[in-house]
Chains A and B, each alone.
Chain A
Amino acid sequence: MTPRALAASLAAAAAVAALLSVGRASDHLDGPRATSDPQADITDVFAFTSPENPSHVALAMTVVPFAGSSTAFSSNVDYVFRVRRAYATQPPAFDEEPLDVVCDFDGAPGGSPTQVKCTFPDGSTSMAAVGDTTGGGNSQSRARVFAGLRSDPAFVDRQGMLATVAAGRASFTGQNTFARANVLALVIDVDVSVFGPGKDDAGRSEPLLAVAAETLRRKN
């Protein structure tokens, strides 16, 4: 870790300690560990059929609550979409075979990452410059990847939710906790075939997909 990065980490630790001790009040962060590591703090996950290409799926995760204009992804964190085939039984059944998409960022010491690379379960990869809204291709490309700052898509009265859970009574304020906030977004638009030609018990192709997101810190 560079002296500059070490100083930044110490500042973050001190700030988190202050946040947790002053009045013992929380913001929108999810547990102490994620609070202490905002670059790995997942705020939302999306999964939907691509509006631009019906044979593609779009997967997105957002991280870093209340990100600023110079906030960057970490080159020491794996940003992972955990994907499994699922079958339309009651309840749905999940295949055990991992079909994960792992995204990483290049790292220059003391600098912000400039490129993202995502590796798909079939071993293929897709790369793009951070902030490139074309995702390194077009709607007919096998895969596109976007990584960069976006408006926070969440609209939640988080303080009202917390008060509601604590009181057992609806206590909403109607205020969007994330109004005008930004986050870092990682968006993938990829041909669904990278997840393989699975079949359900009835022999139907195109099984369902189950999608979650995880962040894993590899090193400091």
Chain B
Amino acid sequence: MIARSAVVAAGLACAACSGGSAHDAAVPPPLDGSIDSAPVVAVGALGQVDRAGRPLVSLLLVPPSLKDDYNAQGSFEAPLPTVLRDALESRLESMDTLVLGDGGPDPVDWPVDAGVQPLLSVFANDSLLLDPSRPSTGDAGFLASYLDLERELNLGGDAGHTTCGGRTPNDDVADTMLTLLVTGTRGVPVTQGVTGPTKPASTAFPYLAPPN
């Protein structure tokens, strides 16, 4: 556990992010968690640094020791290397039986079928699936659209998608992810208890809210 010393380090870590001036992190990040015990690499090493598609995939499904390997993989390179595939599958199985509240492990919602965890077909390709012919907004602003297409195309959902899918701002993707991974389609919501961003996005370009 660390506190202030690591906060200072985090601020300094972005000293190279401005035109040579010191980074003035607006908000010190909380640093109470455990760290990946991986070696420090050279700042600015060349090549692919990071990749992302669906939210929280790396955080929830990729073990610390494999994050660099995962991030160096092309988003559409297939098939996924065996070590990454096995790691994803192992994490998916663990999340499926997460202990909720004071009870025991949550029941298995995604039984391995023919040697494959069913959600692997969703998360092995880490991209947002978007239908540009469907809307992202309704009368109340942005629609919750995350995983709308995957439910229909990967998981055999009965309802066709009505939104554009992909990911809209303001969508509570963390709770959507947790619920899918842990309780599947049983209709038992799983929540992290955080209900919205600091400032909601608007439906006018550039959509994301002005800085704090």
Contacts and interface: CB of A to CB of B under 8 A. Distances in A.
B68 A31 contact: yes
Contacts of A158: 33, 59
Interface in B39-87: 39-53, 55-56, 58-60, 64, 67-68, 70-72, 74-76, 78
Contacts of B44: 9, 36-37, 76, 217, 220
Contact of B128 (A18, A187, A212, A216): A212
Nearest to A62: B208
Contacts of B129: 86, 92, 208-210
A7 B55 CA distance: 34
B16 A39 contact: yes
A99 to B, nearest CB: 11
A127 to B, nearest CB: 15
A164 interface: yes
B117 interface: no
Given A151-B199, A210-B127, A218-B46, A175 B17 contact: no
Interface in B17-50: 17-50
Contact of B135 (A5, A32, A54, A133): A54
Contacts of A218: 46
Per DSSP, are chain A's interface residues mostly helix, strand or loop, or mixed?
Answer: mixed
Contact of B43 (A23, A37, A51): A37
Interface in B112-129: 121, 125-129
A210 B153 contact: no
Contacts of A112: 18-19
B192 A174 contact: yes
B1 interface: yes
Nearest to A27: B29
Contacts of B135: 49, 54
A179 B205 contact: no
Nearest to B72: A33
B27 A149 contact: no
A41 interface: yes
Contacts of A189: 205-206
B131 interface: yes
Nearest to A14: B12
Contact of A215 (B5, B31, B42, B48): B48
Contacts of A216: 47-49
Given A68-B25, A161-B59, A45 B128 contact: yes
B18 A153 contact: no
A69 interface: yes
B187 interface: no
A44 interface: yes
Contacts of B191: 172
Contacts of B188: none
Contacts of A66: 10-11, 14, 25-29
Given A150-B206, A216-B48, 12 more contacts: A10-B43, A23-B2, A27-B6, A57-B130, A71-B14, A150-B208, A150-B211, A165-B59, A192-B132, A208-B165, A213-B51, A215-B48
Top 4 closest A-B pairs, CB basis? A31-B67, A174-B193, A15-B12, A23-B2
Interface of A: 2, 4-5, 7-20, 22-28, 30-52, 54, 57-58, 60-62, 64-72, 74, 76-77, 82, 84, 86, 88-92, 94, 96, 98, 108, 110-112, 133-135, 139, 144, 146, 148-170, 172-182, 185, 187, 189, 192, 206, 208-220
21 contacts: A2-B20, A19-B6, A22-B6, A27-B31, A28-B29, A35-B13, A36-B41, A36-B42, A43-B52, A44-B55, A49-B130, A52-B204, A94-B76, A110-B19, A154-B55, A168-B94, A169-B99, A170-B99, A179-B198, A182-B211, A215-B49
